């Protein structure tokens, strides 16, 4: 996955897409920092996904701060970068797909509680759903 990011960075450089270049450079830097902290040469795909999610959270916060400060230029830049980061995530499930999967997990594990269901979802579909939405759906299915 890291190699794919480097290839995308080279393509962005050739296309002179500064927003994509800046975003990918920042992401690769965050991945490298995480590798140093973990003491590994290459992060596994799950680790890279975690870094992407963390960067997404930072961009969402940046967007909120730009809105509060009424800074349209920063807001536009942050929204472009957010879209680029979101495109790197696996395809996201919508609410109906997620509900079907939660119901399937419930059938397979009838005694499962909230914590178990969330753990099973994470193991099976990590990065493919919104955590808040998943939590709401699991609560609905379990009740």
Tens-digit pLDDT profile for the chain (143 aa)? Answer: 788 889 998 999 999 999 999 999 999 999 999 999 988 888 888 888 889 889 999 999 999 998 988 888 888 889 999 999 988 887 878 888 888 888 888 888 888 888 888 888 888 887 788 788 888 888 888 87
What number of CA atoms fall less than 13 Å from residue 38's CA on the CB side? 14
- Radius of gyration over every alpha carbon of the chain, rounded to an integer in angstroms: 18
CB-CB contact of 30 with 50 (8 Å): no
d(CA 14, CA 8): 10
Q: Residue 21's pLDDT is what? A: 93
Q: Where are the alpha helices (DSSP H) in 16-142?
A: 18-38, 45-68, 72-88, 95-108, 114-125, 131-142
* C-beta atoms surrounding 142 within 10 Å: 13
Q: Residue 16's pLDDT is what? A: 92
CB-CB contact of 138 with 102 (8 Å): yes
pTM (two decimals): 0.70
Angle, alpha carbons 62-51-38 (nearest 5°): 130
CB-CB contact of 75 with 67 (8 Å): yes
CB-CB contact of 49 with 127 (8 Å): yes
- H-helix or E-strand spanning residue 10: helix 2-15
Q: Residue 32's pLDDT is what? A: 93
Q: Residue 142's pLDDT is what? A: 83
What number of CA atoms fall less than 13 Å from residue 90's CA on the CB side? 14
């Amino acid at each position: 996955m890291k190699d794919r990011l480097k290839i995308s960075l080279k393509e962005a450089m050739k296309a002179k897409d500064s927003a994509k270049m800046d975003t990918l450079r920042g992401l690769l830097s965050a991945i490298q920092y995480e590798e140093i902290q973990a003491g590994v040469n290459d992060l596994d795909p799950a680790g890279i996904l975690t870094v992407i999610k963390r960067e997404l959270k930072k961009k969402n916060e940046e967007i909120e701060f730009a809105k509060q400060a009424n800074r349209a230029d920063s807001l536009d830049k942050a929204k472009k970068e957010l879209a680029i980061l979101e495109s790197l995530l696996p395809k996201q499930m919508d609410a109906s797909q997620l509900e079907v999967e939660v119901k399937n997990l419930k059938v397979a594990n009838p005694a499962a509680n909230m914590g178990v269901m969330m753990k099973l979802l994470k193991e099976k579909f990590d990065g493919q759903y919104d955590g808040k939405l998943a939590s709401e759906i699991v609560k609905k299915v379990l009740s």
